[in-house]
Every structure is written in C-alpha cells, then in structure tokens.
Chain A
C-alpha cells in the first residue's frame, strides 16, 4: 500500500493503489499516478485522465452536474422566476437574469451557511464576535460528524462485499444506549462521556452483529435484514420512549430527559460554537478504519472476502466469521454516530433522532468510494450542504430539501460514470468494464 492509505489526512481520493469492491478495475492511469510520475509524459497523462474521465474527474463533474440541476430546480420553482418567464417574449433578458439571481442567491446563502460569511468578517473588525466567523464551519463539522461515522459503517461493509442499509437501525441502537447512560447513570466527569460513547458503540454493534450472524448462519440477505431492522428499531425506539422509565418527567411528548452535562461531548472552541469532540472521534474512527483495512489481518481477510468469497474460502479464510466481525464493527461505527448526535448536538432522545443519517450514510460511502479518507471528504461535503441549506432556507425561503435532491443526484451520477462521460462528451475508458463489477444483485 502506498503512503496514500495511511490515514484520512493524506488520503485524498486517489485510486491508484487501493481499490474497493464498489469500484471497477481500471486500465487507464488515474490522476494520482499521472501526478506522481514526474517526467515529460506527466502533463499528457493528466490530460488523458481528464479526457477519459478518471474517477476523481467523474466525481467532480458529477457534483457540478448535480449543482446545476439543483440550481435549475430552484430557479424554475420560484414564483418570481415563473412570473418573469410568463413575460419571456416581451422581456427575455429579465426572465434569464431573474432565474440566475434566484439560483445564485440560494447558493451564495448556502455557502455563507456552510463555509464562511463575509459579513461576519467585516463585523468582527467593528467589534463583532470572532466566533461568528467560524460558526458556519463549526456547523458543517457538527453536521458531518454523524455522517462520517455512519458513512464508515457503510463503507467498511462495502469493502467486505456487503451492503449495509441498516445504519439507521444501528444508529438507533447506539443512540439509545448512549443516551440512556447519559441521562440515567451518574458517573464521574470524563469517565461518564467515555462510557456513554463506548455504550453507543456497543448498542450499534449488537444490531450489526445480529445481521452478520444471521447471514452467516442462514444466508439471509443482509440488504433485506437491515432494511427490516431499521423499521423494527424505529418502532422499538418509539415504544421505549413511550415508557415512563425513559421519558422526561412531566413531558407529554415521548422525549427522554436531557443527558447530564458530564456525558456531553466537550466543546472544542468555546461556548458559542457547537463543534465538539465528536468530530475528533469521527476522524479517529476514520483513521482506525483505514488502519484496520490496510494494516491488519482482519482487514486483509475482509477485503479478500469482498473481492472474491470463493477465493477467500479456498485460501482458508472463513467468510462467515468475517461477515460477523465486519458487521459488528460497522454496527458499532453507526452506533457511534448515534452517540455523537445524542451526546453532541441533540442531548435528548426523540422519536425522530435517527433523521436521515442512515440513508445519507450510503450516499456518503458511495461518494467517498468506500475509502475512509473519501468518506471523510464526502461527509464534509454533505455536512456543508446540510448546514448551508438551513441558512439558505432562513435567508431565501427555499426549502432545505433541495440539499437532499442535490445529494441524491451527486451519488446517482457518481455511480454512473458512463452517464457523466456521455453528458460531458468524454472518451470512453480503454478496456474498462465499469458497472459489471459494480452490480451484483441479490446474489452477493
């Protein structure tokens, strides 16, 4: 393995050395190869990579395409724009400029909510708070934290040739145990939060291991089992929160008591910013998964099982044992995501605490090409879209759901490189049989 895979900090989406099961083998050099090979041919190789649409290029183009379609959707559902277009023949310029303005203002509001807002900088010079400058970035990390952890839960399973749609159920398991330890158990300061986070891992791991065990014992397809478990866990959560034991006293709604201060994930940058230690936990988890995948026996086994089950069996490995172990870890990671939400941003269990993290995790894992570093980057992108869309709705009244649309489109396009190539008139890959390895169906 190259230096690219040592950890999330250095693992840009380079694909040369480390291919996941979700990715087809490539015949053409990737840009990482092109860039690293110094010499007269490097420039041409890079050009080739762009023209042939290497996976990094496809990812970038997919994001651009999704953002453009999202912009069109924003523009052409806005009442002002539709009004302007009803006069398109008398004032065609106004129609186009109006459409551009609406989409541009939406995206700039999104940028201000996710990355940086120029007004806060000038305000800081005039005696405003400096924390406000970093608030958008802080919000992005808060949104990205559970996505990193749950995304890793899906990505790791991908590498072992399994499809973990059950991050939602595992998330609930983790959030519940972490939350329960947080509000019902009194422990000393530091120890409390550590125990609660470990509890989150355990809560998710139990659910995950159940899935792996069932697959190993009976051959039950993990896609079906995890989908079903998601709903089982959702109703179980609803039921448990209905019980007096788990409900905040005096609350008419099924909401748990708030977790104690000692169980909250510590804030990293003062009380005005929500960025908390959960983000560090997520980064550490990504590094741990990278280490697990590339430096351990289990990682080697799971990649082998993912690449070819029969070969793994012939080599003396036990795919069944690997499934159970992998799903245990995956469940634990999704459980950590649950813990990061209940101990880091929500502070109480609600019937809707699982949000859409479980499903977003799939899209994050795909966008990150099932590699830990990629997952971190993808989660940061999605976290920024989520954080930005809240600001966008507040400023321009455009519903936050547009972020979901854009996210779905990005993944749809990333999963279909030939489509992106057709749209942008890129050359077909030489000898690359993309897609065939991607699609395995129920028989995986």
Chain B
C-alpha cells in the first residue's frame, strides 16, 4: 500500500471525514426530497407470519412525515459528523444510524399506498440470501489476513454447491452432502494455496482463473452427468428448518433469527469463531502477523507458509459450506453457474468490512438485504426496478472503495508470496 498512500498524500485535497459527512448529508436529502416528497398515503408493515402463535399488530405509518423525520435526523447527524471530532465508537453509531434511517425511509417510501410489507419474510429472505455471502466473506478474511488474496470465493461457492447437491443426492444423506460441499471448497482452496504459495502465481489472476475453471468444470459435469441422471445425481432434498426452543417463539425476532436451517446456525458459529479466533487468540495474532509482516513472523518462529496453507484451506472449507447452502439449503438442486456472482459480492463485503469478520458480516447482511428487497419488493409493486436493487451492493462497494477504503486497510503483505531469505 505504500504507493497508494503516496498517491493519497499528494492528491487528497479533502479529508475522509468530510467526504463521509457529505455522503451522509446527501443520503438525508434523498430521504427528504425523494422518499418524503414522493410518498403518498400510509405504509403498512406486517410482523406476523401465517400460523404464528403470537400475533403482533401491524405498524401503520403516514409515509411522508416519517421520511421527513428520518431525513432531518440524517442531515443533522451528517453535520455532527463533520463538525465534531468523534471517537471511534460514536462514529460507528452515527454511521449505523444513518444507514438504518436510510433503509427504513426507503422501505416506507416503497410501500407507501401499496400492499402491506411482509417485514418478517423480507428479513427471513435477507438471512437466507446472506448465508453464502457471509461464509464467502469469512473465507476471504481467513485467507487475506494470512496474506493470500482470495478471489476464488466464487469458484469455492460453485464447487460447494455442486458437490453438495450431487453427493447428497447420490448417497441420500444431506449431512454427507454438506460435508462434501465443504470439502469441495477446500479442494479448490488447496489449488489456490499451492499455486499462490508454492508457485507464486499472481493471486488475482489465479483467483479469476480458478473461478473460470470451477465454472467450466461444473458446467461440463452438469451437462455430461447431471442432466441425463437428473433423478439419481441432482435431486437432493433440502435441510428443513429447525426451530430453536424458546428463542424461536419470540415474536418478530424468533422467526427471523432462530427458525431456520442448520446453515444459518453454522453461519452464526462461523462468524463468532473467526472473529474470536482472529482477534482474541494467539492463533489469530500469529495469522495476522503473517499477513502483515511475514519476515518478522518468520523471525520469531512462526511457520509462514504453513500458516498460509492452513488458513487458505480453512477458508475454502467455510466457503464450501456457503456453496452447499445454495443447493441443499434452499433450492434443492444444482443449476449451472448457480453462484451467479455471489462470490464476488462476498469479496466486496469483505473489502467493505475492511478485512474484519464482523465488518464483513455486516456488509454481507446489507447486501443480502438488497437482494431480498429485489425479490420481495417486486411482489408489492415497488417503484424501483429490481435491477437497480440488485445493482446496489456493487454500487455501494464502488462508493466505499472510492471514499472509505480507497486508502490502505488490506493486510500489508496481502497478495505477496513469501520467500525465505
């Protein structure tokens, strides 16, 4: 990142804080002048699913005033952000509030005067869409924190989905499918590791090529084997939702967070494990040392290459689970190129989250939300075309790399092969 900071020092006439504050104010103005002015009538959010034990009353709001209020709040927060030297935690709180206000204003506006918005099912599909993104982004974190760039997340998801569907179908065991999906992601990761670490291939090129390879291989096998033997090889069932006792019965939160397939619970566990592992344990300290300054890590006796291999492979295993969730988590069969760019969204989420597991998870949830919106809002007649909602994660990432993470943040030795001198 040395050169990039150099560029930054020379070219940056404005500081980051002001850029972010400007973005906040602009978001607030959008809240007021787009969402507020163009809202007619009431927005209705429903919170009760069919057949729920406890019924929660619907939330009915006059759309325009809500948008004005949220917009005003955002603008004020923007000026606060620009004018005051906030500490890290308040900064994040402000950013979170602004995002939340924008999302709520958007939902209120898109629902104004239309069918009631099924909030719980919107959030459920958000969680569902986020699973592969979160797991993929965690895979990215694990690899890149140890200094190996992982663009092959897309391929890992795709192979995971393929192996999950085929093995679950052939052996009639979903758990076996899940395990194979994970292992398939791990296998691609081994290729990534060997070619990146041992043969020192440019890791960005390598990732792109591995994605093409995975796409070609699964596409080939799909046409060659899965189409003719559809019933035997490509008809797995899907994991059924498991409701967690007590927690699952909480209104609103329960159905969203605690009444889902094993994949969602594994995702929770993975996020927690990766976060704690990377930032609270000796293991994580060593991994980060290898990613930041491999020579120093080597000097104190950390095995650099071994650490990288291990992390890349663990990452692949995690992403493979995410891939399996695509085929045996919800759809129930493998389709050609079914990962459809989600690996790249996961990469974006990791960058958006500044190479931290929690940040990446937050970004992945946001991106999952925009995907869910594209699916759900279409049914209630949202005025924004779903294409633009699907575009949102990518646009947000461009804005983010230009404004927030354009300078530094990647682990220092990320992408550089280590040669013992």
Contact = CB atoms under 8 A, between A and B. Distances in A.
**Binding site secondary structure of chain B:** helix
Interface in B205-226: 205-206, 208-213, 215-217, 219-225
Given A402-B216, A408-B216, A228 B348 contact: yes
Interface in B260-280: none
B11 interface: yes
A439 interface: yes
Interface in B174-221: 195-196, 199-206, 208-213, 215-217, 219-221
Most chain B CB within a 10 A radius of its CB, from A73, A235, A435, A444: A235
A439 B388 contact: no
Interface stretch (B22-30, B108-116, B235-243, B411-419): B411-419
Nearest to A412: B209
B216 to A, nearest CB: 3
B410 A242 contact: no
A399 B219 contact: yes
B206 A412 contact: yes
13 contacts: A77-B224, A224-B347, A227-B348, A239-B385, A401-B223, A405-B217, A412-B209, A415-B195, A416-B201, A434-B200, A439-B201, A441-B414, A442-B415
Interface string B383-412: 001011011001101100111001100100
Contact of A219 (B4, B224, B344, B395): B4
Nearest to B412: A443
Interface of B: 1-4, 6-8, 11, 149, 195-196, 199-206, 208-213, 215-217, 219-225, 341, 344, 347-348, 351, 385, 387-388, 390-391, 394-395, 397-398, 401-403, 406-407, 410, 413-417, 419
B415 A440 contact: yes
Contacts of A408: 209-210, 212-213, 216
Contacts of A418: 199-200
Given A239-B385, A398-B224, A443 B1 contact: yes
A66 B348 CA distance: 31
A356 B337 CA distance: 12
B195 A416 contact: yes
A325 interface: no
Contacts of A236: 387, 391
Contact of B385 (A242, A310, A416): A242
B7 A415 contact: no
A224 B3 contact: no
Contacts of A78: 224
B209 A411 contact: yes
Nearest to B4: A219
Interface in A304-330: 309-310, 319-320
A165 B7 contact: no
Nearest to A237: B387
Contact of B398 (A219, A228, A359, A399): A228
A408 B344 CA distance: 18
Given A219-B407, A229-B394, A416 B208 contact: no
A232 B215 contact: no
A217 interface: yes
Contact of A404 (B215, B397, B415, B417): B215
Contacts of B206: 412, 415
Given A220-B398, A239-B388, A415-B202, A362 B4 contact: no
The 4 nearest A-B residue pairs measured at CB: A441-B415, A435-B200, A404-B216, A399-B223
A411 B195 CA distance: 12
A419 B199 contact: yes
A407 B216 contact: yes
Contacts of A416: 195, 199-201
Contacts of B413: 441
Given A218-B402, A219-B8, A239-B387, A401 B219 contact: yes
B149 A441 contact: yes
